[in-house]
Copies of this chain bind each other. A is one copy, B any other.
Amino acid sequence: MKRVKVSNNVIRRMPRYLRKLDELTEAGITRISSFDLGHQLGLTPSQIRQDFSCFGEFGQQGYGYNVAALREQVAAILGMDRGFHAVLIGVGNIGRALMENFCFSEWGFHLLCAFDIKPELIGTELSGVPIRDMAEMERFLSDNAVDVAVLAVPKEAARRVTERLTACGIGAIWNFTNVELTDPNSNILVENIHFSDSLLSLSYFISERKDEEAIRAAKAEKLAEADKQDQ
């Protein structure tokens, strides 16, 4: 597989391709053209072909793409076959929801264990994943090759825990706290799930639409009034 520098936009589209390809597989569809795939995702055929061509030649002239083969290629591009190791920090509501509902292995990850400070949780298991004492985190991280720390601690603890993780030399953080961890000096990879950013973007779009509707309504009313005066 090619690995040239690929733009962020392309990379962010890859998981969507994966999801769509899985959906097609489930629907029993075995081949698809860039035209149809683009149509289903709201993208142009050109973009589909450009995106995949960043990584190799996965299609066939006159045929299109084989769904199963393309799915495997996308999975490989995303690193789903690498078996990365993750640990979860913080077994609050979000942490528990992740352990109980989010299937790490479906995406190629192994969740080794979780950490928390609550004594009643320490030593127990959830969905087969052991919960350890937060105090043992450093030791565990030095004894085990861990690729990602899933950060699900309360807001107030976010920075302190991040410092500890950085000190351990962790390479990546999947950040569920509403704290901006991005640090220009650090080269740790941070991927954020910012619920509030997402909701506020939606809030913007709803506002925009309401304003547009209000303008349309005002125009319509003005028109109706003008009509009435004309008569």
Interface residues of chain A, those whose CB is within 8 Å of chain B, are 3, 11-12, 14-16, 18-20, 23, 39, 41-42, 77-80, 82, 84, 92-94, 96-98, 100-102, 106-109, 147-148, 171-172, 174, 178, 180, 182, 184, 189, 191-211
Contact = CB atoms under 8 A, between A and B. Distances in A.
A82 B209 CA distance: 13
A107 B203 CA distance: 9
Q: What are the 7 tightest A-B residue pairs by CB atom distance, in nearest-first order?
A: A79-B207, A93-B97, A15-B197, A191-B202, A15-B200, A79-B203, A78-B200
A205 B11 CA distance: 9
Given A42-B182, A94-B97, A180-B20, A84 B15 contact: no
Contacts of A195: 98, 102, 193
Given A15-B200, A109-B203, A195-B102, A189 B209 contact: yes
19 contacts: A11-B204, A12-B201, A15-B201, A16-B197, A19-B196, A41-B180, A77-B204, A78-B200, A79-B204, A79-B207, A82-B203, A84-B206, A94-B101, A107-B203, A108-B203, A147-B206, A189-B206, A191-B202, A192-B198
A98 B93 CA distance: 8
Contacts of A191: 198-199, 201-202, 205
Contact of A93 (B20, B96, B182, B205): B96
A217 to B, nearest CB: 15
